[in-house]
Amino acid sequence: MSVIEAHGLRKAFGTTVAVDGIDLRVDEGHILGLIGPNGAGKTTALNAILGLTPYQGELKVLGRDPWEEREQLMRDVCFIADVAVLPRWMRVSHALEYMAGVHPRFDRTRAEGFLEKTSISQHSKVRELSKGMVVQLHLALVMAIDAKLLVLDEPTLGLDILFRKQFYDSLLNNYFDATRTIIVTTHQVEEVQHVLTDLMFINHGSIVLKCSMEEFEARYVEVMVKPEQLAAARALKPIYERQVFGRSLLVFDQVDRQQLNPLGEMRTPSIADLFVAVMGHHRGAAQGAAR
């Protein structure tokens, strides 16, 4: 079942095009990582999906038009739009009470269970909590909602590595299952590499790359090329090349592993390296086209 379906989704602010007619389909039971540089249009696309901004083109989330039916949609969708959006004056107990009051799918006992594993007291106000604790609280609230789609926009920005690790562990162990779908944007791509099932690169409002993690692993190979093999390796048209400690690391796209094996040590590239490779490639291609 498709959770999100978009055709020609477009959003412009004046003359600036933030999302430039993207087509997108996200199926149930996937964790999609939306990766792109600042200003690539990630947040705008997510805002359209969440019914926070009007858009052009066709967009259905769980079969609904998000802009027209935000209220109904939010029974099945939840999101953490940014770090620290929980109202600072609110008490933890108020947040639990309020959520239980307005959200038909919120399970207070479950949220309290999550909170017991942290050092957050129910009497505390949000302003008294550390940044990491606020994120823990928000995650506890969100994970206690029996939602079909969870959207996380830079949920761990500014947190230390311990909290970030805990965040994703908790999400995978206590929340994610085959009936749920998660979309996450982050700049800390190394940390989500093993969490994602699907990957999407977005730049200048367009999708640059979309593949599943299996495809990613099958398609891209990074080879630490021996110096004497460098000419042979370059002949196979790597999409990216960089030097590390005097060794050359080359990334190949859809090149037969039999051919690559003699050139050096092979491994799956990191998302970060692929991102740089694809974005550089993309930019080069764009410049080539301009020429």
Partner 1 sequence: MNSESNVLRESALESERVATVTASQTWSFYWSVRREIWENRWIYIGQLAVAGVFLVGFLFNMTRWLDKMRGLSTTDPAKYWETVSLPYNIGAGALMGALILMTIFYSSEALYGERRDRSILFWKSLPVSDLTTVFAKASIPLVILPLLTFGITIALHLIMLLLSSIVLPASGISLAWWWKELAIFPMWGMLLYHILLGHVLWPFPVYCWLILVSGWARRAPLLWAALPVVVIGGLEKLIFGTAHFAAIVGTRLIGGGAPTDVTHGEMFPTGPMTHLTPLRYLGAPGLWIGLVVAAAFLAAAIRMRRYRDPV
**Of 43, 155, 141, nearest in space to 92 by CA:** 141
**Residue 8 near residue 23 (C-beta atoms within 8 A):** yes
Of 31, 45, 46, 99, which one interacts with partner 1 (CB under 8 A)? 99
- Binding of residue 72 to partner 1 (CB under 8 A): yes
Among 2, 27, 28, 81, binds partner 1 (CB under 8 A): 81
Name the nearest CA neighbour of 252 among 34, 211, 229, 267: 267
Q: Considering only residues 14, 15, 38, 89, which one is a binding residue for partner 1 as defined by CB under 8 A?
A: 89
Q: What span, in angstroms and rounded, lies between the C-alpha atoms of 206 and 289?
A: 16
Question: Per rule CB under 8 A, is residue 140 in the interface with partner 1?
Answer: no
As given in the structure block, the two tokens for residue 97 are 């009470």
Nearer residue to partner 1 within complex by CB, 26 or 73:
73
Residue from 12, 52, 157, 224 in contact with partner 1 (CB under 8 A): 52
Tokens of 30: 């996937």
Nearest residue (CB) to partner 1, 123 versus 194: 123
Least distance to partner 1, CB of residue 75, Å = 5
Select from 2, 37, 98, 204 the one that contacts partner 1 (CB under 8 A). Answer: 98
> Within a 13 Å sphere around the CA of 99, how many CA atoms are in the beta-carbon half?
27
Q: Which of 143, 74, 177 is nearest to 135 (CA)?
A: 143
Q: Point out which span in 17-25, 92-100, 194-202, 254-262 binds partner 1 (CB under 8 A).
A: 92-100
Q: How many CB atoms lie within 10 A of CB 54?
A: 11
Instruction: Return residues touching partner 1 (CB under 8 A).
Output: 50-54, 70-75, 78-82, 84-91, 94, 97-99, 101-104, 138
